[in-house]
Amino acid sequence: MILNTELEHKGNLVPARIVSYRKNVDSLFFTCANNVVLQLTVRRDSVLRFRYSTSGNFEPDFSYAISKYASRGYNQLDVVEEKETYKVTTKKLICHISKADLRVAIFDSADNSVLCEDELGFHWEESYQFGGDIVKMSKSSHDGESYYGLGDKPVDINLKGKRFENWVTDSYAYTKETDPIYKAIPFYIGLNHKKAYGIFFDNSFRTFFDFCRDRRNVTSFWAQGGEMNYYFIYGPEMSQVVSRYTDLTGKPHQLPPLWALGYHQCKWSYYPEKKVMEVANKFRQLSIPCDAIYLDIDYMDGFRCFTWNKEYFPDPKRMVSELTDIGFKTVAIIDPGIKIDSNNPIFKEGLEKGYFCKRADGPYMKGKVWPGECYFPDFTNPKVREWWAELYKELIEDIGIKGVWNDMNEPAVMDVPGKTFPDDVRHDYDGNACSHRKAHNIYGMQMARATYQGLKKYSYPQRPFVITRAAYSGTQRYTSTWTGDNVATWEHLTIANIQTQRLAMCGFSFVGSDIGGFAEQPTGELYARWIQLGAFHPFFRTHSSGDHGDQEPWSFGKSITKIVKKFIELRYQLLPYMYTAFWRYANEGIPMLKSLVLFDQNDVHTHYRNDEFVVGEKILVCPVTEPNARGRRMYFPYGDWYDYWTHELVEGGQELWVDADLDSMPVFVKAGAIIPKYPIQQFVGEKKIEQLKLDVYFNLGKDDSQLYEDSHDGYDYIKGRYSHRIFTLTGKQNSLTLQQVKTGKHFSSYETMEIKFIGLPFKITSVELNGEAYDHKSNKTNGSSIIFPTDFSDIVITGVPEQKNPS
Ligand code: MIG
């Protein structure tokens, strides 16, 4: 582990024997002879919190990560004192606490199998230099145990055998294995004997995780200060661990406007106005759908936040309204640094009110960023967040900006060691004053939170849209995110795929990468492959640094443009599917992207897979990540899968070659799925949806699919104006039944559904609608789909099984 820094070289200190125990409602306190206290709180039957003090007292309990809406409550809490242990039992877990040394072992109450046990357990070193402790925890690891999670780490999905650090860092052109980078998400999932549990180490100091690297059978984590304070979250399904962690640290506070799930075009930078309009108009000329265009730092006057460069943008309000007229939402960047400039009213106000961060001995925290020398708002002060939120008034209410992009909020500082604030900078930390050592990892999160509050207020009654680069656990409540400054290489396409999956399994599903790569320039082939992957990411944006040529859908010649258009169009068709996945994420904490191990942890083949993932519940994709490929090998999880393009059926549980020329990519749909589709639109809301398409993929047996819709913006859905449809498909050799149950008070704009039946093992002879014969022949489309009224309750299709040719 880390070096011993205290003076007396006491080394690792450990708890002594437990001398007293007391219980206060849901919290149990175990006190040791040397004043170490373990506070064990039962949050839920499956969620336990462990908090340690080395001095007998706890600091005030405060966390930016934990959501105030997190579920609490349990069905059982029994504590039994035995000879050498205390035994705590909930409905799901049994926890042993050893009297001799405070070590913890946690078991599944269903079968008494061990889930997670302390090796040395809690121990610490005194921190001479800063006071307090360097707090440490070590757990035994079993052969065959795997580890996942930790946010945006650009490494293979399975973390076993590696060590990591969490310290939010601006990481231009990071590579595979660069650590740390932009985000600090100290949450991991362990998977052992088909059972998954999670550990969330809620400590915002610099933290470290070692997954059996230092010692083969030990997993440990530690922090440079603060408390040993972690949550144990049981599954046994990995998907349950993820949704419980997401419940604990929070789901997005509202759905995004649907346009935010459309395609976005960005560059550093589009200016002047003429250029912005040219790019936007080109999308419309070429009929390539696009919903948002971004203004990077050059729109500002000398990079001063909340100003405009009037030479480039003489009348921003007019430009934004012209963009609105052609279906574009304008998103603008805002960085944290405020230029030191007494003519700048924001600087003056911040100074007068004492809103800028200061060094330990009193001077302001001065740092160079884009505007030159700057001071930085202390976003950990609630008053500063309020002020910051209000600064957006003009930009949003008056000028009409629809989304805000927060960058450089690690916080990044140029030309200094460490690329950020020095450790001694002071922060309010919502009334728990501290140094930057503690506030660093949450600074960007609190900036994004303040931005979110501003957008929420001034965009009302429309929904806010924010994007941030830096994040700590819980940031998903306020904003979307991207993976930072990647590079236009094939390896980075793989990294983008892994990072987005990893963030999704850490409660942060609204995520995407800079498509095509931020630094350097992609070939047309790489750009096309990247668009294909991005079309399945919740946040779908092309962005590039611009100093290496153009990166728009049409920048790589006609044949590439055609492919890019095809995949952006596919995304627009799948919008109701993606929106439903988002709703499930925001409601139930179900990740929108599921790594194969998350999809089927019982299949050991999935434990080391990186490339394949399931988006939503039913679509399996695997990007092509090599040049000159005409296809690739991929692993199919168990189940039957239809090729999206050919409708050919593939049996899962094996690795197979899949053809995928540059105009295609491996996309498969689970048998039994019902996929809703909208017509292609150039932007969300361009057309009234007159008809919904449902693609029904036949399967023997019973399967459910869902469709969630509402007015796609605003808050009426919270008052019940949504439409939630559950479809149940029952497939037999000679029949198919499709049932629909709808709840919610939203009326769909379409009166009919065009239903396509894929993979029917029979020839249709008759169709019934709600128990009566239905004239399917005259309701047939050219494409062999059948039109039905939207609010059908059941459809029964019968037929004669197709004769198999004797071979
Ligand atoms: O120092 O605003 O990651 O997306 O285009 C670079 C300019 C600052 C870094 C962001 C990138 C953005 C760029 N920014």
Q: Is 428 in the pocket of ligand 1 (CB under 6 A)?
A: no
Question: Which residue among the candidates 133, 179, 378, 407 is catalytic per the annotation?
Answer: 407
Question: Which helix or strand (DSSP H or E) is residue 498 part of?
Answer: helix 490-504
Q: Is 296 in the pocket of ligand 1 (CB under 6 A)?
A: yes
Amino acid, res. 446: Q
Q: Is 297 in the pocket of ligand 1 (CB under 6 A)?
A: yes
Q: Is 600 in the pocket of ligand 1 (CB under 6 A)?
A: no
The CA 311 to ligand 1 mean position distance, Å, reads 22
Q: Is 333 in the pocket of ligand 1 (CB under 6 A)?
A: yes
CB–CB of 722/710 below 8 Å? yes
pLDDT in tens, 161-211: 999 999 999 999 999 999 999 999 999 999 999 999 999 999 999 999 999
CB–CB of 665/532 below 8 Å? yes
Question: Which residue among the candidates 296, 410, 552, 754 is catalytic per the annotation?
Answer: 410
pLDDT at 102: 98
CB–CB of 733/762 below 8 Å? yes
pLDDT in tens, 762-781: 999 999 999 999 999 999 98
- Has 352 been annotated as catalytic? no
The CA 407 to ligand 1 mean position distance, Å, reads 7
pLDDT at 650: 98
Residue among 168, 182, 408, 413 whose CB has most ligand 1 atoms within 8 A, to mutate: 408
Ranges of residues in the chain with a pLDDT under 50 are 807
Amino acid, res. 736: L
CA angle 364, 440, 11 (to 5 degrees): 115
The CA 388 to ligand 1 mean position distance, Å, reads 21
Phi (first) and psi of residue 213, to 5 degrees: -90, -50
Q: Whose CA is nearest to atom 11 of ligand 1?
A: 485
Per-residue tokens: 742: 């709808």
d(CA 395, CA 391): 8
pLDDT at 434: 98
Please count the CA atoms within 13 angstroms of the CA of 108 that sit on its side-chain side. Answer: 15
Instruction: Collapse the DSSP code of 129 into the 3-class scheme (helix H, G, I; strand E, B; otherwise coil) and give the result.
Output: coil
Q: Is 485 in the pocket of ligand 1 (CB under 6 A)?
A: yes
CB–CB of 538/578 below 8 Å? yes
48 CA to centre of own chain: 24
The ligand 1 atom at the shortest distance from the C-alpha of residue 335 is: 2
pLDDT at 546: 85
In sign, the C-alpha dihedral spanning 606, 610, 612, 618 is: positive
Residue among 182, 183, 264, 268 whose CB has most ligand 1 atoms within 8 A, to mutate: 268
Q: DSSP states of 132-199 as a string?
A: SEEEEEEEE--TT-EEEE-TT--S-S--TT-EEEE-----TT--TT--S-SEE--EEEEEETTEEEEE
C-alpha pair distances (Å), 795 with each of 9, 726, 730, 758: 76, 14, 10, 15
Q: Is 268 in the pocket of ligand 1 (CB under 6 A)?
A: yes
- Has 410 been annotated as catalytic? yes
Amino acid, res. 300: M
Question: Which residue among the candidates 485, 600, 710, 713 is catalytic per the annotation?
Answer: 485
Phi-psi region of 418 (alpha: psi -120 to 50; beta: other; left: phi over 0): left
Residues in the chain: 807
- Has 485 been annotated as catalytic? yes
CA-closest candidate to residue 168, choices 501, 343, 476, 408 = 408
